[in-house]
Structures are given as structure tokens and as C-alpha cells.
Structure 1
């Protein structure tokens, strides 16, 4: 097996634009990624996934495979290697790593690599799991994709898999702290506010998990910057990862036409909901460089 060095993990709250960023970075010919089309159905077939990675470099065949087999988070794959990885009720830390999980994860990641694609790349959303993964890969790199929390909340309310509708007792983000519980109750148990609380929980977890990482191992990019300057942002990312900038990758990146749809929440939410959302997220939005909407009045 090829020794695994400096694996790359994309992390962030769901609905933050990490999927398109992941797809773009998987276009680099030096990274080996998890084929969602394959490993979600057959999580044990890492050997076949490696065959796919090798075939991506073949003329004609590689292009056809690239259109049919797409990257994925592949939680069945991770769950097979470490039970509880896919949906823990809190962030996973170094203390949660068993020797069995360490061996299985390192072995699987290494077996995916090829001589050309010798850098492991994976995307994991929700809880950061940075402490857990750093315990297994001490030289791992992490790229945090951030998006305006108002857009994230609006997107959560539109998807069919958000578990907040059942209340915080039925989701995977743990019990609400007394302060968070009081905030939700004060809003009249608003689902808009609950989705905002989810985003804040995950942003807090990310700050805590990444606190011990230096800038050589942790990078933060904003989805809005990726849309505004796609090529420039990807050049910074590739430099951070220590990957060469290749012409084939630049061509692949240039084919993307990203559109910043963050403003959709203004059309989708009522003025009252927007006011509640602004009040719930205010300090967090400013912390990540987002401008508050002064046209709505805070209610909370």
C-alpha cells in the first residue's frame, strides 16, 4: 500500500456549499476521493474504488467514469470502519478513537491511493470530527467551508431531511444548553430560530475543534468568495494543500459557473422570520464577515 501523508478533509455545516467545492477539488488529478455512487451501496469495496481512481486517468474511459461516478460523503463507508461516526450526538474527539478504528481507517484510506492520486480527500459535514481524525492522521489538513448563516438556515428549511421539525430531542446535535433552550422558547419555538441555533452549535464546535490547529493545517474559505473569485480561491486552496497547479485542473475549474444565491432567504421568509433570524445570528454573522440587514428589526 502507498503510505498516506497529509490527507485532506473538507468540513463544515451542511448546506454551506461544500458539495460543489468538494466536486471541484476532486477534479485535481493528484487526489483520491470516495466515489459516492459506489461506496454508498458497497461500502466494503475500497478495492473497486481504487480501480475507479486509476481509471480516471485513462483517455475516454476516464471522462465517461467522471460523468457517471460522483464524489460523496459515503457515511456507510465510514460507519463500517468506525461505528457511530456518521451520526453522533456530539462532536467526535481524540478520546473516541479506538485502536481498531485507527487501523481500519488508515488502511482503507491508504488502499484508495494510486501512484498518481496519492493524496486522500474526503468531505464530512455536520460535526467537525477534527479531533477524531487528527488522532488518526496527525498531519491531516482541514478546509472549513463557511456560508452566510441566513442562507444556510433558509436551505435547511427547504430540504426534506432536516430533523429539526421533530424538535431538538429528535435531532443529532445533542440537548440544547439552558441558554439555547431559553432562546428557542422565547421565540415561540420558531423553527427558523431552531435552524439558526443548529448553525451556531456547529460553528461553535468548529471553533473549538480547530483551536489547536495552526494555519498550516486549517484553512477557512467562504462560499461567497468561491463564487466571486473561483479561480483565485481554488489557487489558494491548492497551495494550502501542497498540490501542484495543473492546466487540466484549471480547465475543469473554469467550466464551473457558480452563482451566489444567498439572497433567497429574503424572498422565502416573512419579515418577522427574517427579524428573528437576524437577531439569532447577529454576532455570529459579524464574526465571519457578513453584513447585518438593518432593514429588519430584531424581535428576540
Structure 2
């Protein structure tokens, strides 16, 4: 096994409902990758939880070896850890003006203390779990400036999707009803003019959601243009059309060898064409593209 290292972590970013969770979850079946789960979020310094992850993370691969609807597959999935963003961990390790829950962290850099403490915890996780590469996922604001200051050699995967499909999926989420459907969910980088503009859209859920999605995409684009990043953009529609080739390209970018566990996970995943699930009225689609033009 390769020695654990925090060099060149693979970091997935993208708006919610863009496919970033689906694509990253497939790639995170790669046996070299160490990722964060709910137990880590609750107990990030627990060696017991890290050792438990070492064994239970392998159950995800075993679940894909069994027949899809078999009892063994169900049991393996039930006891397998699930990748998370570990938002509580990041919020607990960063200062007050770096908000990993709802903030953009635009132009924010990790302090020397944050770099030391965060890397200490993550390194211990990797060593105890006996994994050689770190992988992270963040949906919403990409926070590329902060993450690059923490990991200067990180390899970023930016997942994007057609705006109308993304808004349609967001609108169908139960949580969005209490988050961004009638209010600005992400905060910290809107100008006074943008705040005034959103106030006019507040009662139109589709327009307001598209407005917020556009802010996510534009802010990420600005960070990409400003920073010297090792970054690959993955279009969700391209992934749906050819998942095998997209994943091979992604693994090559991440300097990971192809692996049967990733292939099995891909075959089990619910990969659907966004156009087939898009049932928005034509007027709503036009509204989305008005406030969030397709890139």
C-alpha cells in the first residue's frame, strides 16, 4: 500500500443538485481514497472511529459485488459509512468569518493555525484508516481560495449541470422549502445592488433560486480565473451520456489507476439524463435562463 499523504488531495466542488454528490460517491469507492463520513463529523479526533472506518468503508465495495437486491448487499450497505461534507467539522476548525455552512468565504485564506490543526486531524485519519490519498466534497460555494491556501497542490473537480435541471432538482428538495426557496441561503458576497434585486424576486421561487445558482456559478468562475488551480470541469450531461469514459478521464486527472470497485459502483448508480426528469413549464425554464444563463 502507498504511504498516506495529504499531497494532491482530490476535492469535488459544485452547486447542490448538480451531480457532484453522485459522481464523487462513485469515485470514492476507489480503495486508495480516504474520505469523511458522519462518524468523523461527530468524532473527528477519535482513533476508534478512524479504525472503524478502515473496515466498514470496505463494505461499500462488498455491497456492489453481491446481487443488487440481495440480503447481503442490503446488509453491507446498511452498515457502510456514507461520504459527507462534514460541515460541522469544518465549521469547528475554522474562525468565525469562514462559514462552511452558508458562507462563500470569498477571498479568505486559512491561517497558519488552521492549516496546522486541520492537517493534523486529517493526517491522523488517513494513517489510522490506512488510506493513501485524501478526497473531499463541498456543495454550494466552492470556497476555492480557502481550500487552495490549505492544500496548494490540490486537484479540484468542478461539477456543473444545466441550470434549468439544477433549479428543477433544488425546487423538489424538501429542505429547500426552508432554505433558499424564499430567502438568500448562501451569504457573505452579495452587493447592495444584488440584495435589492433579490428582494424583488423573493416571492418568485424559481427566479430566486436561479438568481442564487447564478451567484454560485459566477463566484466559482471568478475564483477559477483568479487562482492558479489544477482543476478539471465535469459536465453532468457529458457524464450521463458516457459515464465510463468520464470516470476514466477523472481518475486519470486525479492520478488514480482505474479500479473495478469504481466500475461496479458506476454500474449500480442511478445515472439519469437530466432532460428526462425536467418537467418544468416552459415559462419557468425561460425564467431560469433569464436569471442564470447556461454557461
Q: Could you tell me the TM-score, scaled by structure 1's length?
A: 0.80
Match of 1:164 in 2: 180
Q: Provide the aligned C-alpha RMSD in A.
A: 2.9
Equivalences for residues 185-204 of structure 1 within 5 A: 189-204=203-218
Report the Cα distance in structure 2 between the residues aligned to 1:106 and 1:188, rounded to whole angstroms: 41
Displacement of 1:252 in angstroms is 3.1
Is contact 1:29-1:116 (8 Å) kept?
no
Match of 1:52 in 2: 52
Q: Which runs of 5+ in 1 are unaligned?
A: 288-300
Match of 1:74 in 2: 86
Whether 1:129 aligns to 2:143 is: yes
Match of 2:71 in 1: none
Match of 1:27 among 23, 26, 29: 29
Q: What SS does structure 2 have at the residue aligned with 1:154? A: helix
Displacement of 1:240 in angstroms is 0.3
Displacement of 1:112 in angstroms is 1.8
Match of 2:69 in 1: none
Is contact 1:13-1:203 (8 Å) kept?
yes
Q: What SS does structure 1 have at the residue aligned with 2:174? A: coil
Q: Which runs of 5+ in 2 are unaligned?
A: 64-74
Q: Could you tell me the TM-score, scaled by structure 2's length?
A: 0.82
Is contact 1:56-1:66 (8 Å) kept?
no
Match of 1:117 in 2: 131
Aligned positions, number:
276
Whether 1:240 aligns to 2:253 is: yes
Match of 2:289 in 1: 278
Displacement of 1:19 in angstroms is 1.1
Report the Cα distance in structure 1 between the residues aligned to 2:242 and 2:170, rounded to whole angstroms: 26
